[in-house]
Amino acid sequence: MMKRSLLAFVLATSTLALTLHSPTITIQPIDFMNEHAIYSTSSGKVVIPCQATGSGNITYAWRHNGNPIQLDDRIKILDGNLSVANITASDDGKYICLASNLYGTSISREVTLQVSVVHSLRNISENIIQSSYGSARLRCQISNQTTRMPKPSQIYWTAGDDSRVPETTSIAINEYDGDLIFIAGWQNNTGSYKCNAIFKLFDPTTGSSTKIKLTGVAQHVYFKIPTSATPSFAPKIEEGPTDIIAILGQVRVILECISTGYPIPTILWQKKLGPLPNNRYSIEKFGRHLVLKYIQEADAGEYQCIAFSGFKQVSASAKLRVATDSRWKASITNTNQPIGSDFIWPCSVSGFDIKYKWYRNGQRISGSPQYNLHANGSLTIRHLSPSDAAVYSCQGYNNHSNIVSSGYLNVIVAAPTFIKCPYTQATFFRGQNATLRCTVTGGPRPTVEYTKNGRTIDRQLHNKYTAQLNGNLIIHHVQDSDAGVYKCIASNRYGTAEVSGSAVIKIATTFTKSLTKTFVRRPQGFILSCQIQKDPSLNVVFYWQKEGKNITTQKAVLNVHGLTTTLTYSSSSLGDSGRFSCFVATHVPFAGYETQSSSAMLTVHDIPDSPSDFRYNQVNASSAVLSWLPGNSNNSPLLRYGLTYRVNSNRLSNDPWRVAINDVPPWATFHRVNLSPYNYYHFKLIAINGVGSSKITPSLIFHTDVDIPYHSPGEFRASSGTADGAIIEIRYKPLSRDEMNGPHIYNRLEFKPQAISSSWSFINIGNNGSYRLTGVLENTVYKLRLRPFNDIGLGKEWTHTVTVKTGVAAPTLIPEHFQVYVIGNDSVKLVWSTDALGNSMGTKIIGYRISYWTYDQSIAKTQTLGDVNVATMNHLKHNFSYHFRINAFNCGGDGLLSQTVSQYISRSVPDSISNFTSSQMLSHQLILQWLAPAITNGIIQSYQINYKLIGNQSSSRKTIAKNTTGNETSAILNNMKLGIYQFTIAARNIHGYGVPVTIRHKVANILAPIRLAATTIERTFIHLSWTVGDIIGQVFVVQYKLSSYLFKNVSGMLGPEVRYYTVTGLAPSTTYTFRIFALSASHLDLYSNEINVITKPSESMGPILHHQTWFIALLISFGGLIVISVIYFAYIRVVQINQNRKERHLI
């Protein structure tokens, strides 16, 4: 009877705990820090709030820096709030509120009370002497104060007359230390300066702030008068950006970059590997400040400032990390858990570098066998007992914030009770997983058994059933056989309970057409649709959401047609982008509505907005820095920027725009362009994303200073005069107006005889493109080169040097079939025919010169080659048009240039094939074979064969279709006429036909013997065999030779059917080379392959003695015997000598 009463009391108290409440802190304490820090001399008081709810009487306590607070007349607890009067420096620190009732103690978040102490600025005066245009730094001396010194709300400097010093392009005030920095000081900057700092001090009583101004001691700077021309100082980062951690949503973050130098540097900003945040940043303080606003997670990254001064630049970078305030993902609440079980209590906080602490009734929990603290925030309590019942608190924190939640752990000791029972008639859906509701509570944790139609369910069938800890049963992959009556029986030591229900099987509601990722260009409309299948007996309802919210906009039209629903927008804007979801809610008897959804992203995008604030900086004779601010990418990430320009054109000119660069990285906000002096430039900028190109910015117009010529004239060529041996003809492309670099352009022709080591002679010539050099020595090799000059001076470079022998005619013919093929992002292959050239005018061709250029032929580059018919050029600019010309040259100089061939460096075609061979196995039939190109630039689609009879005007073409793998690398050509053919093959990919390869082959009325082999080899004779593809009346002759002799016939004419022959009368141990040639009535002859054969040695010679094993062993034995004998006699001699020495010693 007593045991029953005890059990009833335990059960009653366990149930009673569920009706009462542990303390819950409803008003959390707040921080007093930064702009709300408390001034240490404040006469008022600060009240840190804390309020809690819960059952019964709630008492409060506070901790300061982890220690209980001792209350007195100055520090009091009033209704849970902590009141601190007459703040002192010792009050600075961390505070926690504790609320307790009969269930236990909850804790609050940890807050900071920051006590500020304002000292006077350090009284140290500085005197700086600097050259004019040099830099100087006067220190405000705030940063060296105690850490309790608050950050001033404003810092400014005053001059000796107490007037404020404004910030300009040459004067900066450091944002964080308040230092005055002269970027490039002038004489009028000489003087005395004082730092002034204004502090805002928060009054917790009134909630307002008061201001205090501190003024430092005078600092002095003196800039000397320059003694020479204006000096230059290389740019230097005086104050670079520092790594910073910003809070998500922070209104304003400043990255600072101050550079000294002269000319005064221009400072530009960019984010590495990403664009600056659109419409959420500004450039302030003459480029020295990059201000980011309303910080988002995408703003994290590395930011770089670049300072340009003249031709030099320096940079500095800093990383921005974005921290988020702590937010609950899974907080803890009151919970009931059965006695004896292991309880895992989840606690999860989102944020930046989150760590966790756990408390039990206000006391910190350390890891132990009973308590396991996990890195993900959860707490495991092993083998629960009644003593584990308490209030637990989980704190998630980082360096910026912390949050706390508390819950009461009630340890249950009770008989099983079902808190969720099976439906009277549950609906299971065919092919899906179903849950049989049997949620049970009790302590110890009840064991649950399940039956279906009166038969026990085997829970070991894991692929079919899964029993959960709360008693529910998961039935996997529902089939029609899963219908029936189910029962759940739960039991523990205190009792047993059971519930039951039936289940029917229905067709599942599923999507037959789901939403897919969609892109729409603004302002086009769009239609989204989804379709389902369902059980005929069940009703469904459709609805749509965007980003988790029902769509209510008036421009959206929803329609339902049978089992299909559509969402229609007649027009779109960028704001319509988001994740759209199509929902279908199926009404299930007893259970209510069950919902499925299909979701996908819809992006409304457009071409990017045009960049803004497009301007030029640091313009000099040969370069300028162009900068801009990015426009909105309009939901399509920027791919690149493109810069185009005109030179010396007016606004109404129809001159084409040239490409300066078309692949500026999308994160860039500036680009240095190389220019030519003495020119007016017009520049435009576009931004490019996946949709297209932005509108073009308005033109920038500026001019460059004069300078000497940078380039030599293009296409410099020279040749000997044919009628007069004392003349050399000079040809070149005169420098264009764009490349003169200054007024009055001329050229200096330099020349000298090659055989004489003397200095160059020169003559100044005009700029009209040709010149006749007279008075040179006849039959002499001359070296020549050209160098431009203008009023500023001689140019930087000469042309390439050419050699000409006077009295020798230059080539008169032009290389034929000159073609250029793009075989890479920056490379081309050039091919041409040399057949028509041969020895031009009786003088051998030495090589070829190729000229190439982009926009300006007057500065064309030249590449000189040997006597070849193919060349490769690398390191060209991608997505640029190039122009090429070629000429042949010999010792008499350069021949005429070919017509121009142009090629756009993009869309690469295949390189040439290799191992191109031809063979004739049958009469009137050829077999062509080759290997695929080493560089295909994509999948080979086909090969094209062009062939023709040499000397015949008619030509045939055969195109061999290929599959995408390009495996077919041979072709059979039938019905070939007799004669010599020229075959050309080119591989084709998606961009077109590639580099061709050409060979020749003679189609004869006889066939060459093939596969010549020695079938029998003896001392004095050899049996030979061969094959022929066809019998067409030819006869065969066998030939052989010794190593250094000519072939001679060893047979007469063998008939066309003969395929074997025995050669006799040979010498033993001798090497012979054999071949066979076929002969026809037309006297054409074709040779077989050659073979080398060694006849066997003569038997009388026997085996070579020194190769025999017994002879080698005999030699080794004899040698060993000699060595042993020498050692023995040496030993005897040593013994005798020692004996003699002993006898003399005795005497």
**pLDDT tens-place string over residues 659-701:** 999 999 999 999 999 999 999 999 999 999 999 999 999 999 9
Domain end point (choices 230, 249, 279) = 230
The reported pLDDT for the residue numbered 171 is 96
The reported pLDDT for the residue numbered 834 is 84
Residues 1112 and 1093 in one domain: no
pLDDT of 978 > 50? The answer is: yes
Residues 65 and 93 in one domain: yes
Residues 125 and 219 in one domain: yes
Task: Please state the rounded mean pLDDT for residues 157-170.
Answer: 94
Closest listed residue to residue 569, CA positions, set 583, 555, 581: 555
Q: ω into residue 226 within 30 of 0, thus cis?
A: no
Model confidence at 127, in pLDDT bands (50, 70, 90)?
A: confident
Domain end point (choices 292, 323, 354) = 323
Residue 736 lies in a domain: no
Beta-strand (E) ranges in 875-1009? 881-890, 893-894, 901-904, 914-922, 925-931, 942-949, 955-961, 970-974, 979-989, 992-993, 997-1003
Residues 213 and 237 in one domain: no
Residues 6+ away with beta carbon under 8 Å from 751: 728, 760, 761, 762, 773, 776, 782, 783, 784, 785
Its domain, for residue 185, covers: 121-230
Residue 939 sits in a domain whose CATH number is 2.60.40.10
The reported pLDDT for the residue numbered 1043 is 76
User: How many angstroms separate the CA atoms of 518 and 525, rounded?
Assistant: 12
Q: Tens digits of per-residue pLDDT, 624-659?
A: 999 999 999 999 999 999 999 999 987 667 888 999
The reported pLDDT for the residue numbered 964 is 45
298 DSSP assignment: G
Residue 786 lies in a domain: no
Residues 855 and 925 in one domain: no
Residues 125 and 224 in one domain: yes
Model confidence at 11, in pLDDT bands (50, 70, 90)?
A: very low
Give the distance between the most distant pair of CA atoms in the chain. 143
- Helix and strand numbers (H, E) in the chain are 2, 98
Residue 1 lies in a domain: no
The reported pLDDT for the residue numbered 674 is 94
User: How many angstroms separate the CA atoms of 638 and 864, rounded?
Assistant: 42
The reported pLDDT for the residue numbered 1139 is 65
Q: What is the CA radius of gyration of the chain?
A: 48
CA 777 to chain centre: 62
Residues 108 and 160 in one domain: no
Model confidence at 704, in pLDDT bands (50, 70, 90)?
A: very high
| The token pair that represents 938 in the structure block | 């994509």
Residues 125 and 211 in one domain: yes
The reported pLDDT for the residue numbered 1145 is 43
The reported pLDDT for the residue numbered 131 is 83
Beta-strand (E) ranges in 754-815? 761-765, 770-774, 781-789, 802-805
Residue 618 lies in a domain: yes
User: How many angstroms separate the CA atoms of 642 and 686, rounded?
Assistant: 5
Beta bridge partners of 531: 513, 564
Residue 712 lies in a domain: no
Domain total of the chain: 11
Residues 497 and 423 in one domain: yes
Closest listed residue to residue 997, CA positions, set 887, 907, 908, 870: 870
Residues 147 and 101 in one domain: no
pLDDT of 955 > 60? The answer is: no
Residue 172 lies in a domain: yes
Residues 127 and 206 in one domain: yes
The reported pLDDT for the residue numbered 1032 is 62
Task: Please state the rounded mean pLDDT for residues 29-55.
Answer: 86
| The token pair that represents 386 in the structure block | 């009644």
Cβ-count burial of 1007 within 10 angstroms (0-12 exposed, 13-18 middle, 19+ buried)?
Answer: buried
Model confidence at 959, in pLDDT bands (50, 70, 90)?
A: very low
Task: Output the CA–CA distances (angstroms, integers) from residue 1051 to 1039, 1060, 1062, 1066, 1092, in the order listed.
Answer: 7, 12, 9, 14, 18
Residue 718 lies in a domain: no
pLDDT of 316 > 70? The answer is: yes
Range scoring the smallest mean pLDDT among 40-54, 85-99, 850-864: 40-54
Note whether 913 and 930 are within 8 A (CB).
yes
User: How many angstroms separate the CA atoms of 337 and 586, rounded?
Assistant: 35
The reported pLDDT for the residue numbered 129 is 84
The pLDDT > 90 percentage for the chain reads 69
pTM for the full model?
0.74
pLDDT of 502 > 50? The answer is: yes
Q: Tens digits of per-residue pLDDT, 1035-1087?
A: 889 999 987 788 889 988 888 888 899 999 999 999 999 999 887 755 556 78
Domain end point (choices 675, 703, 731) = 703
The reported pLDDT for the residue numbered 1140 is 58
Residue 787 lies in a domain: no
pLDDT of 420 > 50? The answer is: yes
198 compared with 117, residue with greater pLDDT: 198
Beta-strand (E) ranges in 272-370? 281-284, 289-293, 301-309, 312-323, 327-330, 335-338, 343-345, 348-350, 355-360, 363-364
Model confidence at 1137, in pLDDT bands (50, 70, 90)?
A: low
For the residues of 20-72, what is the DSSP string, one character each? S---EEEE----B-GGGPEETT--SEEEE--EEE-SS--EEEEEETTEEPPP-
Residues 583 and 629 in one domain: no
| 737 SS3 class | helix
User: How many angstroms separate the CA atoms of 790 and 743, rounded?
Assistant: 6
